[in-house]
């Protein structure tokens, strides 16, 4: 590890072989926390390249629990909809709400997530508040996919090897230092979805994340960063200002574009109109949107993000077309039905 650290401290990019060694050493309990911390700090100071990030993720996924989704006969494209967090705006759980709309429109949702770290309510928290079991093993996850078209992979259960870096990550966070682990959460889905919509907390990250997801084998990847009226970043497609979208995939070179709510006939919203609360409050918002009770800006931002997810998954040609599909899933009751199906499927699994 000392040689790897010296390479990084001299500003040298790691080779694929060096990345494999470094990633495995980080997950090795016998390696001291001090050396792991020095390696992570050197990598962060140098600046992680897309190739390095993709390489570390590939090794980490080799240590993850495989949900064995390949055993299922799936009726649509697999899709994850998630965000990095970190925008500190306290929006309700937009992507978790949008995933039920995408499922109702034909996507197979393989959601990978965790409890809230930078927010009051992460995806796991709001699903739990809705009566959905988040601790299911692979067989339970597959049962939910087969029954409801939606499954949730609770990150700590599927990445047990990360216990070896837990203390180092805490020390770095306490010291105000970031590491590669602050970037890779949305990239670590062990189901390896075919399509992925990722919200990031900085516009500058959009092209790099699109390239990383392309390197990880996504057929279609959309990386988005919205903005507020005063220019703050939003890790969703935004109703408060323009959104940058970088698209890439197995069959697509990088595309970079900017959209606004007005492009799709949507009204601009204020931040306070889109904020949520704790898991219980956000669970009510989610259910009200899917049931058709919520008709305001919270519904609109959900529809916009669901539409982007559908277009990313190839279930619509454009966001505009997908918006109409998304609206129909709510008005028909199909989106709410997928929430009900996931609740029942997760609770009925006894393994």
Provide the residue-wise pLDDT of the chain in tens; the chain has 351 residues.
Answer: 899 999 999 999 999 999 999 999 999 999 999 999 999 999 999 999 999 999 999 999 999 999 999 888 898 999 999 988 777 899 999 999 999 999 999 999 999 998 876 567 889 999 999 999 999 999 999 999 999 999 999 999 999 999 999 999 999 989 999 899 988 999 999 999 999 999 999 999 999 999 999 999 999 999 999 999 999 999 999 999 999 999 999 888 899 999 999 999 999 999 999 999 999 999 999 999 999 999 999 999 999 999 999 999 999 999 999 999 999 999 999 999 999 999 999 999 987
Q: For residues 208 and 87, state if they share a domain.
A: yes
* pLDDT at residue number 121: 80
Question: Is 53 within a domain?
Answer: no
Domain range enclosing 25: 2-47
Q: For residues 245 and 311, state if they share a domain.
A: yes
* pLDDT at residue number 83: 86
* pLDDT at residue number 119: 64
Q: pTM of the entire structure?
A: 0.95
Give the Cα separation of 188 and 61 in Å (integer).
Answer: 7
Q: For residues 167 and 269, state if they share a domain.
A: yes
Question: Is 167 within a domain?
Answer: yes
Question: Is 61 within a domain?
Answer: no
Domains contained in the chain, number: 2
* pLDDT at residue number 337: 98
φ, ψ of residue 258 to 5 degrees: the values are -130, 135
Q: For residues 41 and 137, state if they share a domain.
A: no
Question: Is 263 within a domain?
Answer: yes
Q: For residues 122 and 207, state if they share a domain.
A: yes
């Amino acid at each position: 590890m000392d040689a790897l650290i010296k390479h990084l401290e001299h500003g040298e990019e790691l080779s694929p072989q060096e990345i494999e060694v470094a990633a495995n050493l980080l997950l090795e309990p016998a390696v001291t926390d001090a050396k792991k911390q020095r390696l992570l700090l050197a990598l962060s100071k140098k600046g992680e390249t897309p190739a390095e990030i993709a390489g570390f993720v590939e090794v980490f996924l080799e240590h993850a629990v495989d949900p064995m989704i390949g055993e299922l006969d799936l009726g649509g494209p697999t899709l994850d909809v998630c965000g990095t967090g970190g925008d500190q705006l306290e929006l309700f759980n937009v992507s978790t709400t949008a995933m039920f709309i995408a499922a109702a429109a034909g996507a197979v949702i393989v959601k990978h997530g965790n409890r809230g770290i930078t927010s009051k309510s992460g995806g796991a928290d709001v699903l739990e508040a809705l009566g959905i079991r988040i601790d299911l093993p692979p067989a339970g996850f597959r049962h939910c996919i087969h029954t409801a078209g939606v499954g949730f992979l609770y990150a700590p259960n599927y990445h047990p090897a990360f216990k070896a870096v837990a203390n180092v990550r805490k020390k770095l966070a306490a010291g105000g230092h970031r590491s590669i682990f602050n970037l890779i959460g949305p990239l670590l889905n062990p189901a390896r979805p075919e399509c992925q919509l990722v919200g990031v907390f900085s516009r500058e990250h959009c092209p790099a994340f699109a390239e990383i997801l392309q390197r990880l084998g996504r057929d279609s990847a959309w990386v988005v960063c919205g903005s507020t009226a005063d220019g703050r970043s939003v890790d969703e497609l935004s109703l408060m200002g323009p959104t940058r979208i970088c698209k890439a995939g197995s069959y697509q070179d990088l595309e970079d574009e900017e959209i606004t709510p007005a492009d799709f006939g949507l009204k601009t919203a204020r931040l306070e109109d889109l904020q949520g609360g704790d898991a219980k409050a956000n669970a009510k918002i989610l259910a009200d949107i899917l049931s058709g009770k919520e008709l305001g800006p919270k519904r609109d931002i959900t529809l916009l993000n669901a539409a982007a997810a559908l277009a990313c998954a190839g279930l619509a040609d454009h966001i505009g077309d997908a918006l109409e599909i998304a609206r129909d899933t709510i008005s028909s009751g199909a989106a709410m039905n997928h929430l009900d199906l996931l609740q029942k499927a997760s609770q009925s699994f006894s393994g």
